[in-house]
């Protein structure tokens, strides 16, 4: 409770979004109930400390000892679990190339520059969608293009962009077609991962908790690009490995469901049999199947299933590519091409 990470997690919007999703599933999913209990304990700790302090000030410091003892015992067990997890992650890191200080600086700069380009193009995408779907009041001037170009040039990124992306950014406001807009929207997943790699976002929810994109993710960077360019940390190889494995789990489960429903054809008969077995084993098992939003994989619509499959595939591919680059010790060169 006396660490910054505790308060960061407690006041993180994603914590409470996840709590709401867990609350909606709590009546039928023991995993949701367990996570709600953990959150309740986190919230209860400062309250108990305040109660204890009040009793101390009133001269009765031992009244709440029976309440505090179970809390400290629970924290002790949690501390042991965290230590075991730290040891496991340390062993994972030993299997990867350890970055030097200079290599870390180069990767932070590379990820920051790529993230800023992604943020600018996605922010422009949001503006283009608005202009496509809404009618502006008379006399209103759109300055999105000008602001973005000035930002890219002032940060020395204009000449590092691919020619195709520069041509798109040069087009007048409202000039993007629907195909290009829908294509660029897929870039939100790489941007989300880049923010996490640079530790702007310290928590990376699993695919099932991040099924939708928020343009604020991009606009926040456009408004304050120094958040990226002044990054002092980078996610470790073990963190990337954990994120990749979690995404692979979602991808494999969603692909099995797609094959079982007949949306996708299996590579061979064996793959089909495995997919059918996985899908039938997990079907309607509220305590075991993976969750997309508030529904099991076996319960979601075709559109939601295909969307989750795409997101998990992109996350796996991006983290795999990043880990290879880190092991090589050298970030890719320019130009930076927008690749959703």
Supply 207's token pair: 């695919």
H helix intervals, 26-64: 30-57
- Cα–Cα distances (Å) from 251 to 199, 227, 260, 311, in that order, read 25, 31, 14, 8
pLDDT of residue 296: 94
Sign of CA dihedral 242, 228, 121, 174: positive
Give 6's Cβ-side CA count (13 Å radius).
11
pLDDT at 337: 84
Mean pLDDT, the chain cut into blocks of 10 residues (340 residues total): 70 80 86 87 79 68 60 71 68 70 92 95 94 78 90 94 94 92 91 94 90 89 90 89 95 95 92 93 90 93 95 95 89 83
Residue 35: the pLDDT is: 85
Residue 94's pLDDT is: 59
Rounded to two decimals, what is the model's pTM?
0.81
Interstrand relation of 291-292 and 295-296 (parallel, antiparallel or unpaired) = antiparallel
Position 198 scores a pLDDT of 95
DSSP code of residue 291: E
HEC string of 58-102 equals CCCCCCCHHHHHHHHHHHHHHHHHHHHHHHHHHHHHHCCCCCCHH
Predicted pLDDT of residue 95: 62
Contact call for residues 303 and 318 (beta carbons, < 8 A)? no
- The Cα–Cα gap between 83 and 99 comes to 23
């Amino acid at each position: 409770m006396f660490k910054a990470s505790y308060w960061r997690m407690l006041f993180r919007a994603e914590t409470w979004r996840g709590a709401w999703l867990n609350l909606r599933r709590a009546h039928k999913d023991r995993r949701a109930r367990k996570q709600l209990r953990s959150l309740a304990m986190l919230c209860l700790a400062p309250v108990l400390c305040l109660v204890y302090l009040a009793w101390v000030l009133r001269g009765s410091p031992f009244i709440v000892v029976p309440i505090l003892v179970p809390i400290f015992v629970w924290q002790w067990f949690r501390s042991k679990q965290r230590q075991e997890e730290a040891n496991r992650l340390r062993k994972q890191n030993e299997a990867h190339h350890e970055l030097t200080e200079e290599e870390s600086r180069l990767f932070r700069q590379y990820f920051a520059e790529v993230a800023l380009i992604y943020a600018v193009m996605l922010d422009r995408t949001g503006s283009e969608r608005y202009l496509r779907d809404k009618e502006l009041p008379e006399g209103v001037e759109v300055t999105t293009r000008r602001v973005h170009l000035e930002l890219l040039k002032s940060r020395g990124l204009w000449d590092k962009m691919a020619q195709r992306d520069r041509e798109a950014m040069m087009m007048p406001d409202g000039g993007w077609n629907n195909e290009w807009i829908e294509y660029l929207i897929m870039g939100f997943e790489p941007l989300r991962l880049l923010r996490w790699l640079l530790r702007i976002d310290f928590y990376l929810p699993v695919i099932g908790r991040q099924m939708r994109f928020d343009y604020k993710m991009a606009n926040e960077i456009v408004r304050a690009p120094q958040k990226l360019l002044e990054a002092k940390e980078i996610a470790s190889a073990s963190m990337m490995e954990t994120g990749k494995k979690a995404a692979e789990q979602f991808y494999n489960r969603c692909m099995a469901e797609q094959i079982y429903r007949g949306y996708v054809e299996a590579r061979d008969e064996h793959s089909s049999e495995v997919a059918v077995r996985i899908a039938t084993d997990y079907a309607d098992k509220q305590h075991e199947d993976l969750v997309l939003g508030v529904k099991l994989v076996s319960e979601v619509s075709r559109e939601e299933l295909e969307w989750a499959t795409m997101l998990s595939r992109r996350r796996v591919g991006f983290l795999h590519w990043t880990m290879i680059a880190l092991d090589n010790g050298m970030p890719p060169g320019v130009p930076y091409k927008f690749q959703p």
